[in-house]
Amino acid sequence: VHAARAGVLQLRDRAMQVSILGGLAAEFTIAQWFSGSPTTLAEQRGNVVLMEFWAPRCRSCAAMFAFLNDLHDRYADRGLTVLALTGYRGASGGRTHDDDLIRNAITEHSIDFRVGVTADDSLRKHYGATGIPTFAVVDSIGVVRLASSKPDRAALEDVIVRLLDADTEEEFRP
């Protein structure tokens, strides 16, 4: 039963990810920023934005932080913004524990990019991010160009570089 439910969630997430490709990215509401200055997608127009949806207890998510730091270090000056977005889980009593886990992840992985906690689960659902880690890449005019729960590092970097190199967004073809 658990495997069947997981399969249904994966299919639902992938259908959502495919449905948002080529459309305007959904704006987010961040309840708290833990790293970096507050921002919005509207403020990031002109930049390519990589969003990672993650959870503090997710080993696969933590394994991606070195790669995301590397992308940030190499491409921030060219217009890449990396955002790691998570949410609070469970009762409000667990929030302090989640805060500690988020701060520990930032310290342990020397995260240099913005880390925030979303106000609710609506953004995660919109981007098909029930499974984590999930990634979305938004171009400089606010269009979703990639959404995936498959942490394919080469494909992710390829999309980012092509978007950063494109003179106009019309030149980009996924």
**Radius of gyration of the chain from its Cα atoms, rounded to whole angstroms:** 16
Exposed/middle/buried for 104, CB within 10 Å: 0-12, 13-18, 19+?
Answer: exposed
pLDDT for the residue 94:
52
pLDDT for the residue 82:
98
Q: Which residue has the tokens 């409000």?
A: 92
- Counting DSSP H helices and E strands in the chain, the numbers are 5, 6
The span from the CA of 5 to the CA of 163, in Å, is 36
Read off the pTM: 0.90
Per-residue pLDDT of the chain (174 residues; tens, 9 = 90+): 666 767 788 888 888 998 899 999 999 999 999 999 999 999 999 999 999 999 998 999 999 999 999 999 999 999 999 999 998 875 444 566 789 999 999 999 999 999 999 988 889 999 999 888 999 999 999 999 999 998 799 999 999 999 999 865 555 555
Q: Which residues of 32-54 are buried (b: 16+ CB within 10 A; e: fewer)?
A: eebbbeebebeebeebbbbbbbb
